[in-house]
Structure 1
């Protein structure tokens, strides 16, 4: 997944942070959300992590190195998935038809 962060974090309060780069939801997720995390191929992720990557290069990596929505398996899940307090493998189980 593509993210942006900075180390060492210089806020002075020892809080760490990052942001997740998103793209428009095209398939699979579009019915519940208009954005999706940008997932990169391993090769693109290595390029993304370079310390000297420019903004233009990052945009190109995001465009050319993104994993297609067709490469994911989509299935309905329970509403419990939407609450970050819920954890566990049962959240990944597809709903029975």
Structure 2
């Protein structure tokens, strides 16, 4: 987790749900039901106290690690204070708004995708770490050096039936606190651990295996399949 997410609304509606009256919009990404690693997606972050919406590459690798480490799309909350992620935890905290995310169950070749979302169908505010430095604009050939990763935690509870990891999702007020530059790294880690929404806040259902193909899109990808045993 997490290898795909559903970000099918426009940035302005996510900002409204976030509880902010306005933002600086530098995002041209279109809504999608099937956001995949390697694409550019809108993320929320603060610049001088102002909420910004910028398109960032989903996937990050530090410039010095080009020959040593793979590009990551997730960062475990248990490790975000280490030497690799610590710098981003201090100055690169971001939020990725979405309507849900996807997980898979089953054996290779017979993988079944599931759409996971809040029971109340409110937007998700997923915690992210990002590099907002100059590389992001000046060196597009090195896009992974200026991308983002989603912060993940142990799935816990019933969600383990779908996957053992989940994105760290906060409510809007706590997600805004995550963005606060006055929050120390230690406080940010504690917030992510203690305020993450638990399994009881979510529900999930099976969806079409068409989600497996990164280039596919459309509302039908997030439409629930009949329950197993029911008529298709």
> TM-score category by the smaller chain?
0.7 to 0.9
Segment of structure 1 superposing worse, 1-10 or 38-47: 1-10
Residue of structure 1 in register with 2:215 after alignment: 85
TM-score where L is the length of structure 2: 0.38
Q: Superposition pairs for residues 1-97 of structure 1, below 5 Å?
A: 1-10=126-135, 12-14=138-140, 15=143, 16-27=146-157, 29-97=159-227
Tell me the distance in 2 between the aligned counterparts of 1:82 and 1:41: 29
Tell me the distance in 2 between the aligned counterparts of 1:40 and 1:92: 22
Measured after TM superposition, the shift of residue 21 of structure 1 is 0.1
Q: Deviations over 1:6-31 (max 9, x none)?
A: 32343641324011000112245423
CA contact (8 A) 1:28 1:74 kept: no
Q: Flag structure 1 segments of 5+ consecutive residues without an equivalent.
A: none
State the aligned residue count: 97
**Residues 40 and 77 (structure 1), Cα distance of their counterparts in 2 relative to 1, 3 Å cut:** same
Q: Flag structure 2 segments of 5+ consecutive residues without an equivalent.
A: 1-125, 228-232
The structure with more strand, counted as a fraction of residues: 2
